[in-house]
Amino acid sequence: MNRTAPAFPDDLLERWGVRNAELVADTRSSGVYRVRLADGSYAIAKLLKPSGLHEMPGMDFLAWRAGLGAAKLLDRHDTACLLEDAGTLTLRQYRQSQGEAAANAVIADLVKNLHAPSPEKPPAGLVPLERHFRSLFEGAARTEVSELSSVLRRCEKIAEALLQAQTDIRPLHGDLHHDNIVGDTGRGWLAIDPQGLWGDPAYDVANIFGNPDGAFAEIIEPARIMTLARLFSEILGCSKEKILRYAAAHAGLSVCWSMENGDTLSRGGNAFERFTFAKVVMPLVGEA
């Protein structure tokens, strides 16, 4: 055991045959370990804290996917989860060396795998998009009159219309972005850390528009936005406008999440970047 890490629970050591556990992250919501098992293989152990129980629907999603397009859920015991070690190479790192087009090709293939049909019945505990967007509806209502309130209310209007017209409702990863796509273990690129949502598949690519971290100048470039819209509309079989409208709605939601966590619209923060993206994408969907 790593002596600097919090003690790994004895019952899990025995249950999973853990021979060594290295603490990878200790956050408000979970403790994450890379563990070596009795057969010499590695896995990821995620021990959810009380503030991390919202991640349980994501574990249901992984169990349902059974490894297709996503890391496998190997075992679950109460709020402790043993996951396939999907590797350490993130798509953000890959994009830095191989470029935007190569990264987009990875995303396209991954989305196809994540949305491929499953013989299993969808989990019952997935979060409906209507509930997922609650922070946007609440944030738009309480924001004082300003440019921010105007943008959030337009995002709210877009979200309401989209949610009322959902089609092909299915399980969604819910948090796809370049740091949640990993691939250097021989299984190809895999999605990790899903939220586990239930709704229109067009929402599952909305977060890609605001990523990766550190690429803000490209994120707000209309040419890139339209390239992604064309790519995702072809993959998901829907209009470019629908893809863009979900991207705009998600940007408003992300602003609200960030501000709930104490962020402001100061330049360089997530709220500022998502707010700026929303202002750029609105004219592309006739919401100027």
Q: Just list the catalytic residues.
A: 175
Cα 174 to Cα 200: distance, rounded to the nearest angstrom:
11
Cβ-in-10-Å burial (0-12, 13-18, 19+) of 82 comes to: buried
Beta-carbon contacts of residue 186 (< 8 Å; ≥ 6 apart) = none
Q: Can you point out the beta strands (E) in the chain?
A: 18-26, 30-37, 42-48, 73-77, 80-84, 127-128, 170-172, 181-182, 190-191, 197-199
Measured between alpha carbons, how far is residue 248 from residues 16, 49, 130, 197 in Å?
43, 32, 16, 18
CB atoms within 10 A of CB 106: 18
- Only one residue has tokens 């923060």, namely 269
Tokens standing for residue 221: 């470039």
Q: Is 158 left (phi over 0), alpha (psi -120 to 50) or beta?
A: alpha
Measured between alpha carbons, how far is residue 25 from residues 3, 32, 115, 177 in Å?
15, 5, 29, 19
Cα 279 to Cα 275: distance, rounded to the nearest angstrom:
6
Cα 232 to Cα 207: distance, rounded to the nearest angstrom:
12
